Structure 1
């Protein structure tokens, strides 16, 4: 490696490391802010908070890494141009392309690392992160209940006045509202003087042992006029055990290594295998439903009669209903109408089901392409940032940050927009995932071309010259005679 390549690489790495650490810290704070409701007021110890943040860190890399490369490139090459170091290189016969060659090799290696990171580390961390959030109540059940307010735990809303004990499992002043299955409010209220939470990491059942309390349940009379009396049943107890099923909140253990069927948790090989199964199931369901609906409607695939299969009866009239009496006509029309409504409902239900399955397939395809997009984005951002810095000739944290933020927001917005359209099957997942890269790649080529040929970012003469000619025509200069 030559002295020039070492100098440029050292300059870039120092800037890149500084920017990466700052941006990573900012995005970590954003993650804490987004999940503050899950962390605050639940007596989480320091080890669990650190574990929570460690599992959330890898998902930030796809945002931080391209932005860091973009900003570091603009700042590094902007400083070199501002200090006339590029002018010295060009006077020595060193072009911008030659100056970028060493850094290009480094960015290519970084892109490969980013790809393997996205394919292996992020899915594992995503699995741990999601399941850690789901298992907070099971690992430490007292964290699911906050003092002085109702907390949603399974099928119950629980409020306690005070928590005590080693793990906060001893509760005082307990009020429990049981959720109604029909969605018309709480019909059952349980009050207890104190109680204790008992749980096991091997079981999804959380036991709440209540002491000295009352059980209230609203009754719904059969007669509507009796409902105004607001009848209810009340019973008291010395000891009552309430079993809370957390299986829907905690499907797997934190340290269980079984792979969940979620697209963000899968590697390329696992995504390929899953997509193959999803496509086969999707096609099989379409074929199965088409055959089923044909049988229900009486449509036969081969409805072409052969000579032997032609009916020997007389020719049927155009209006078949004329063969029946009026009461029979009414019954036939009711049955036909009912069949049409039932068939339409079945078609609508199946259509929604197939749309959801297609959306699931699209999400898996987007996750598949995202692993390649992050690697390409690193390379693309370098070829946007490096020539842009050489053109604007400004380093530091002023103008480069403005350009970097505008470009990255555009990239992120287009990327999100493309994915949303692809999820709803309005665009192929390939185009949805690569839309931002396809749109910004011409910008990278244009900036590289202009910087290599010493052309400014915007040729102001192209804009100002026609305006000057226009103003001269509209406001001609006045001629004054000598006195």
Structure 2
């Protein structure tokens, strides 16, 4: 490797690693903010929190890696242009393509590593992350209850003063309010000196054992007794042990978790996705054919039953059916029409249900297709962002974290918005999943070609400088006019 290639590659790698570390840390902190409700005040040990973040962090790679390549490219080549290092290279006969050669090889290697990561490492990490979130309430039953405050568990509102034990399962001074299913009022209050939480592996049922307490329940006064209307009677019962079963799955309203658990496509590699997609497509075709066959059989069966009630042998065609109905009495016609209307509504309801079920199956297939293509999109996006950032850095001739950061954020927001839009549209069967997954790269590909062409031919530098110069002059004129008016107004006032 020549000295120039080593210098360019070393400068880029240092910038890339610095940018990647900062952005990765920011995105992981954003993940902590998203799941703060699951982590804060739940008596989790440090190891569990570290595992939670460790399993979550690999899903940030598809966003952090392209942005890091883009920003590092703009900063590195912006520094080269700003310090006239590119001018020295060009005077020595070294073109932009020649300067980018070592970095192109590095980006190709990085793209291969990113594909391996999202294909092998990320699915396993996603699987462990989802199962860790799913099992946290089972392995840590105390997570459902925070000491010193009331906690809503479905129709139960519970407060404990203290928790102890290796899993926080022992409770002290338990107060519970149970809401009525009819009027949602707190008609039942339970107070106990001690309590204990218990769960079994693989079960979503949380058992709460209460010891040495009282059970209070309001009693509605009799409507016929006017004297009792101003009284509020209740029933009090003492118990030594009282057990309540709480179904945690009923009040787990984390929509994001349900989506992630359902979306098993993110836990598969390319080979697994390829096999699963083939199986899902075959199942979709078989079920669609089965629905059509069942519908046809149902229509023919109902038509045959209606005709046989009046006549044993009638050919099944429209003229025979119309003639058969016309020959009947008025009451019989009304019954036939009502029966036919009921059958049509039943068939229509079946069609709507089948349509909805098949649409959900198609969405599941689309999710697997999108996950399949995205593994290649992540690798290609690294190369795409490099060919956008490197020539753009040479054009704007600014290094550091100022102007390059602005351009990098704008380009990445555009990329991320188009990518999200394409995925959602493809998942809802609006466009082909392949187009939805590759839409962001297809939109930005002409930008990469244009920037690379302009920077190579030195056309973009002058034109971009002219644009910046024009903008500067425009704001300078506005500022000077405003300053002149202020001075003039001050002079008149004096």
Q: Per the alignment, do residues 38 and 247 of structure 1 end up closer, same or farther by CA in structure 2, a change over 3 Å counting? A: closer
CA offset at residue 79 of structure 1? Answer: 0.2
Alignment of 1:105-254 (within 5 A): 105-153=105-153, 157-167=156-166, 168-176=168-176, 185=184, 189=188, 191-193=190-192, 194-201=194-201, 204-215=204-215, 235-245=237-247
**2: distance between equivalents of 1:107 and 1:321?**
77
Q: Is the 8 A contact 1:170 1:197 kept in 2?
A: yes
Q: Per the alignment, do residues 326 and 32 of structure 1 end up closer, same or farther by CA in structure 2, a change over 3 Å counting? A: same
Alignment of 1:332-371 (within 5 A): 332-371=336-375
CA offset at residue 162 of structure 1? Answer: 1.5
**2: distance between equivalents of 1:183 and 1:451?**
72
**2: distance between equivalents of 1:312 and 1:408?**
64
**1: distance between equivalents of 2:234 and 2:333?**
52
Match of 1:297 in 2: 299
**2: distance between equivalents of 1:161 and 1:189?**
17
Structure 1 regions of 5+ residues with no counterpart?
251-258, 301-308, 465-483
Q: Deviations over 1:40-66 (max 9, x none)?
A: 111222221111111111011111110
SS, match of residue 135 in structure 1: helix
Match of 1:34 in 2: 34
CA offset at residue 164 of structure 1? Answer: 2.3
**1: distance between equivalents of 2:172 and 2:465?**
78
**2: distance between equivalents of 1:461 and 1:208?**
71
**2: distance between equivalents of 1:353 and 1:264?**
22
**Is residue 442 of structure 2 the alignment partner of residue 438 of structure 1?**
yes
Q: Deviations over 1:446-470 (max 9, x none)?
A: 1000000001267379999xxxxxx
**2: distance between equivalents of 1:274 and 1:187?**
50
Q: Is the 8 A contact 1:142 1:197 kept in 2?
A: yes
CA offset at residue 237 of structure 1? Answer: 2.5
Q: Per the alignment, do residues 338 and 126 of structure 1 end up closer, same or farther by CA in structure 2, a change over 3 Å counting? A: same
Match of 2:463 in 1: 459
SS, match of residue 460 in structure 2: coil
Q: Which moved more, 1:288-297 or 1:429-438?
A: 288-297
Q: Is the 8 A contact 1:158 1:174 kept in 2?
A: no
SS, match of residue 129 in structure 1: helix
CA offset at residue 151 of structure 1? Answer: 3.5
**2: distance between equivalents of 1:274 and 1:294?**
30
CA offset at residue 415 of structure 1? Answer: 0.1
Answer 1 or 2: which has greater helix percent.
2
The CA RMSD over aligned residues, in Å, is 3.3
Structure 2 regions of 5+ residues with no counterpart?
224-228, 253-260, 303-312, 469-494
**1: distance between equivalents of 2:47 and 2:182?**
39
Match of 2:382 in 1: 378
Match of 1:471 in 2: none
Q: TM-score, normalised by structure 1?
A: 0.83
**Is residue 448 of structure 2 the alignment partner of residue 448 of structure 1?**
no
Q: Which moved more, 1:43-52 or 1:365-374?
A: 43-52
Match of 2:24 in 1: 24
**2: distance between equivalents of 1:230 and 1:334?**
55
Q: Is the 8 A contact 1:82 1:393 kept in 2?
A: yes
Q: Per the alignment, do residues 176 and 130 of structure 1 end up closer, same or farther by CA in structure 2, a change over 3 Å counting? A: farther
CA offset at residue 200 of structure 1? Answer: 4.5
